[in-house]
Homo-oligomer: A and B are copies of this chain.
Amino acid sequence: MAKAPTTPAAPVVNPAEQVVKLLTTAKQTMVTAESCTGGMLAAAVTDIPGASAVLYGGYVTYANNAKSRMIRVPARLIKDYGAVSNQVARAMADGARNTAHTDFAIAVTGIAGPEGGSEKKPVGLVYVAVSSEHATLVVEHRFGDLGRAKVREASVNAAMDLLLVVLTDPQGNDASRLS
């Protein structure tokens, strides 16, 4: 009996490559602001040849005072809500975009573990944010304690996906895609 025709596999698309391509076409620029991913997000973008056309650079704001000094996250916000919070993720994205004068900024703050987790804010809690001239979006993820490397990797993917959503739907007409 003949086999059923197989569906061709979807082409493997690198999200960072898509980001660079979309921004290049639109002649737009981006910057990164990272805490728990500590440079991985910028590294994923700069892995793509031609990234220099769209990437201004990145801030690895690992210490709390690096967040305040590099990209003007109010120290008060960190004190009141904690470095891993919706509010600080938003302030990182907005602060990076305003400091760097780019069209987009993408920010990540989270708890990669193994230390630093608590009942309210467990290991795997990660906020990703994208700031554009239209809006700033923040998404909370609870990846669970997958181990430091996997939480960081999941965070990079989540951040890149959120930026792709914004880049392909800048007016936010299709909010369901964020779920």
Which residues of A are in contact with B by a Cβ distance under 8 Å? 32, 34, 36-47, 49-52, 55-63, 65-66, 69-70, 100, 113-115, 148-149, 152
Contact = CB atoms under 8 A, between A and B. Distances in A.
The 5 closest A-B pairs by CB, nearest first: A38-B46, A39-B42, A58-B60, A39-B39, A57-B66
Nearest to A113: B49
A46 B57 contact: no
A168 to B, nearest CB: 23
A38 B51 contact: yes
Total identical chains: 2
A45 B42 CA distance: 14
Given A39-B39, A40-B43, A43-B43, A115 B56 contact: no
Nearest to A100: B66
A17 to B, nearest CB: 13
Helix, strand, loop or mixed for chain A's interface? mixed
B57 A42 contact: no
13 contacts: A32-B39, A38-B42, A38-B45, A38-B51, A38-B58, A39-B45, A49-B113, A55-B62, A55-B63, A58-B62, A59-B70, A60-B60, A70-B70
Given A47-B149, A50-B115, A56-B66, 9 more contacts: A38-B45, A39-B39, A42-B60, A46-B152, A49-B114, A56-B63, A58-B59, A58-B60, A60-B60
